[in-house]
Amino acid sequence: MQISVSELKTARGKVVGIGRVKFPKTSWFNHEIPLLSFIVIKKPNGKYVSTCIHLKMDGYGDTVKSAQSDMAENIWNFLDRIFNNKNSKNKCWLNMYELSKGDEISTTLWDKYHAVQFMLAEKGVATDRYTQLQSKIAELENKVKELEKRIKKKINDAERRESISDIVRSTTVEYIPTTEAA
C-alpha cells in the first residue's frame, strides 16, 4: 500500500473507521442540517471515541456503535440547544460555521479521514456510496414520519423521549471500517 497504516495513528489512538451522520428535519426541529462527517478512534485502553469533525464533538463507548450513538446524542443535544434556545437561535448557523472552521485538531482529523478514504480507494473500496446513503437517509426520514404519527396519537413523554432517542441512534447513515482497507 502506498499510504502507510501509520497514517491512521493519532495522539488519541488508531483510526478504525469513518462515517457520516444526518439529523433529519422534524415537526419539532425544522432545520436542514448538512451531512456531518466523523472519525472513530480505538484508544489504547480498548475503548472508542467517535468525533464529529465538523462540530468537534465526541462520543465515547466500549464499542464503535456505542461511541457513535453517544456522539450522535451529544450532537443532537447541542443542535436542540442552539436552535431552540432564545439566547442562541439568532446566531445558531454562525455558531455551527465557527465550529466547523479549520484548526489544528480538525486539520489532523480531516487528514486521517482522507487517509482512510485513499487507503480504501487503493484497495478498490468505494467511499462514495451515494445510493446507499440516500437509502439510509430515506429510512431515517420514515422513522421520523412514524414518530410524528405516534406523537399525534398522544404518546406519553417517556415514549416520546425513547422514540427520539431511537431516531438519534439511527442518524449514522454511513460507516466504513478501516478493516476494509486491510
| Whole-prediction pTM | 0.85
Span 41-82, pLDDT tens digits: 999 999 999 999 999 999 999 999 999 999 999 999 999 999
Q: Label residue 174 left, alpha or beta by phi (over 0 means left) and psi (-120 to 50 means alpha).
A: beta
Rg (CA), the chain: 17
pLDDT per position as a tens digit, 104-157: 999 999 999 999 999 988 888 877 767 777 787 888 888 888 877 777 766 677
- State residue 136 phi and psi, 5-degree precision: -65, -40
Instruction: Give the pLDDT band of residue 182 (cuts 50, 70, 90).
Output: very low
